[in-house]
Amino acid sequence: GGDSTSGHALWPTAVAHIPSEGLGDELPATHDTESVAEKAAEFPFEGLDAADDVLEASARTQDEGTKVMDERLLECFLQALKTQLKKTDIPLLTSTFYRSYMLEQCPTSQKLDIKKSSYKKLSRFLAV
C-alpha cells in the first residue's frame, strides 16, 4: 500500500495500544517471604534416598565407563603409532588416523567411541 511505514503498518498501532496501567517502578513479588528451607522441611521426602542411591550408582557406572573408554582410546592410539603408522603415511588428517589406524587396533569384541570418553573429541585427546 501507500503507507510510509515500510511494510509494518500494524506494528505502530499495536505498540500504541499496549496498556501501561499497573506498571510502576516496582515489580510485583513473585513469591512469598517463606524461605526455601522452610518449604523443603514441609515436603515429604520419603523414598528419595533410594532414588539418590540409583543416581549415584548410575554416575559411578558412567564414570567407570568413561575411564574404560579413556584407557581403550590411549591403548589403541599407542598401538596404532607403534605397529601401523609409517613415516611415509605422515602427514595425514586426524580423522583418517582415527578411522583407519586407531579403530583398526580396537579388539572386535570391544568398541572404541571417542564420544563416550572424557575427551569427547579427538582434537582434545590429541592435545593432551
Give the pLDDT confidence of 39-98 residue by residue, as tens digits: 666 665 555 665 555 556 656 666 788 999 999 999 999 999 999 888 888 899 999 999
Q: Tell me the DSSP string of 53-70.
A: HHHHHHHHHHHHHHHHHH
Which amino acid belongs to residue 66?
T
What's the rounded mean pLDDT across residues 5-18? 53
**pTM of the model as a whole:** 0.52
